[in-house]
Amino acid sequence: MAGEKNGEGKEAKEERKELIKLESGEAEQPFRWSAGTYGSRFLSELRDNCRFVGVRCPCCGRVYVPPRRVCGPCFRELTELVPVSDEGEVITFTVVSFGFVDPSTGRQKPVPYGYAVIKLDGADTYILHYLDETDPGKIKVGARVKAVFAEERSGSMLDVKHFALLRA
């Protein structure tokens, strides 16, 4: 063995193996990032008031949710924050049956669950979120939905537990 030829004993080799095991284990990697001025306002409105806010373009009138600083098509700075509804419509959807790790939580959400592109009333852009329905036969494009907020909120999109289908 190469280690023994270099004078390295069996004990030292075992110690080195252990070190490699430790390095390949799980490691906590804490980090922080800024949501920005408008992103922070959007998330704090969810957390503190169970309310969605967007921003309206003074040029074309589009309302962006979540709010952003610039309207791409008009290349104008956006400053007018506006409330939008917690109800909206399903633009498209899927029912997730194959679990994967949610990057926002680091945990796998139990399957199945509904996932939809939603246009809130008063908004011109879409958000992605969970649905409370898992039967694809009961979800329709154009279905009306309403946000259900979590009891405990921390300033994240998961302050909305899911969107509930509104039955006609």
C-beta closer to Zn ion: residue 12 or 60: 60
C-beta closer to Zn ion: residue 71 or 139: 71
Pattern 27-66, Zn ion, x by CB under 5 A: ------------------------------x-xx------
Closest CB 64 distance from Zn ion, rounded Å: 9
Closest CB 109 distance from Zn ion, rounded Å: 35
Residues 66-95 that bind Zn ion (CB under 5 A): 71, 74
Closest CB 74 distance from Zn ion, rounded Å: 3
C-beta closer to Zn ion: residue 61 or 136: 61
User: What is the residue-wise DSSP string for the chain?
Assistant: -HHHHTT--HHHHHHHHHHHHHHTS----------HHHHHHHHHHHHHHS-EEEEE-TTT--EESS--SEETTTTEE--EEEEE-SEEEEEEEEEE-S--B-TTTSSBPPSPEEEEEEEETT-SS-EEEEES---GGG--TT-EEEEEE-SS--SSGGGEEEEEEPP-
Closest CB 145 distance from Zn ion, rounded Å: 26
Q: Give the footprint of Zn ion on this chain (CB under 5 A).
A: 57, 59-60, 71, 74
